[in-house]
Structure formats: C-alpha cells, structure tokens
Amino acid sequence: MLAFRPKVRGLRNVPSKGPVIIASNHLSFSDSIFMPLVVPRKVTFLAKSEYFTSPGPKGLLKKLTFIALGQVPVDRSGGRRSEAALITGLKVLADGDCIGIYPEGTRSPDGRLYKGRTGIARLAIESGAPVIPVAMSNTDKIQPTGKVIPNVKRVGMNFGKAMYFDGDSTDLQHLRVVTDQIMNAIHELSGQEYIDIYAPKKAKRDEIQEED
C-alpha cells in the first residue's frame, strides 16, 4: 500500500459507527482494494454473484479474493434478483455496518463517469443511512482492465460530506433525482467528464463497433 503513496482527503467524513453507504466511482478492480484499506472500519461490497462462481483455479482464487475483501455475492441481473440484492444491503445497514456501492453498476470503460442506477437511492431512503460520495483517481492507470500485476502509481481518494435522503422509495422519479444528486457529488469530487447513459450500454456499443 505504501508503494502507491495514497493521497486521501475527507476521510473524517466517514462516520466511525452506525450504518453508512460509501458511494464511489469505479475505474478499476483495485478500487475495492485501496478504498477499504484506508477506511477505519469494515466496508462490505455487494459484488456480482458470477465473481464467486467462475470455474477452475483462477475462479477459486477470484472467489477467495472477493471473500477476503469482505464482498457479498448477489445476483444483480434485474427483477426479483435485484430486489434480493437490495434486501441484502438493507440487512447490512440494519446491523449498523458500512456498505460500499458503485452506483454506475460496473467499471467505467473509458475513465468517464456514467449514469448511476437507482438502487442506491432506495437503499439510502429505506435505511436512513448517510451516503458518503467518494472519488477514486488513478486506479485505472494502476490496474487497467485485464492487467494482473499493477503499475506503481499514486492512488487518490477524495471523500465528500454526508448526504441524507428521505421521501417515497417507490416513486421512480424521486429515485432518479436522488441518484443524480449522488452522481453529481461524485462528479464534483472526481472532475471526470459525466456521460448521461449507463456504462454497460456504452461498453456493449464499443464491443459491437470493434466487431464491425
């Protein structure tokens, strides 16, 4: 960790106890390594279940790594499965713990910040937990997608002030407003260019263009 000379700002904004949601941009797999190492309490991430079910020795290593990082497997593919992920997150918060979320839903394919998914708004409203926006920087250069051995560069983490939300968690328009407020806070901390589409759609479009 010392080799990457982490530059951390605003860590005092993270409550030392009680339920809290840490909402971060997502540039690299290593985000889930660096950020929990500086937060002075356990951070539980809701990770895609397929990360825990990959076959072979490599899959086993990935599974053990995610378990060691405190990540909980959930099926986030939609419908009732996404509802199960929400219930899991609410349980973690009801226990007074800290949960980490990447509102974009996946890593940025090009370093820009993408539209957030509204699950985080439901978690914040239904739990009453504060949301701490976080901006990671340089992790996409430290560990680009597909690279196993990281480059040694300085990592940055900027923790913003707590945000509180209430209202009707079944109102889709309200959920979008809350999510956009969280993404705007991350945007202000990161300085990334913001793109008002979901990252997975952008990544899929790039794959189609490459095939063409």
pLDDT in tens, 127-169: 999 999 999 998 867 655 655 555 556 788 999 999 999 999 9
Residues whose CB is less than 8 angstroms from the CB of residue 65 and which lie 6 or more positions away in sequence, other chains included: none
CA 63 from centroid of its chain's CA atoms: 18
**Rounded Cα–Cα distance for residues 207 and 83 (Å):** 29
Strand pairing of 113-114 and 194-195? parallel
| Residue 4 backbone dihedrals phi, psi, to 5 degrees | -95, 0
- pLDDT tens for 23-51 read 999 988 778 888 888 999 999 987 666 66
Considering the four listed CATH numbers 1.10.3720.10, 3.40.640.10, 3.40.1130.10, 3.40.1710.10, the one that applies to the domain covering 2-211 is 3.40.1130.10
Residues whose CB is less than 8 angstroms from the CB of residue 72 and which lie 6 or more positions away in sequence, other chains included: 44, 45, 46, 47, 88, 92
pLDDT band at 2 (very low <50, low <70, confident <90, very high): very low
Q: Is 135 exposed, middle or buried (0-12, 13-18, 19+ CB in 10 A)?
A: buried
| Residue 7 backbone dihedrals phi, psi, to 5 degrees | -105, 110
Q: What is the 8-class DSSP label of residue 204?
A: H
* pTM of the predicted model as reported, rounded to 2 decimal places: 0.81
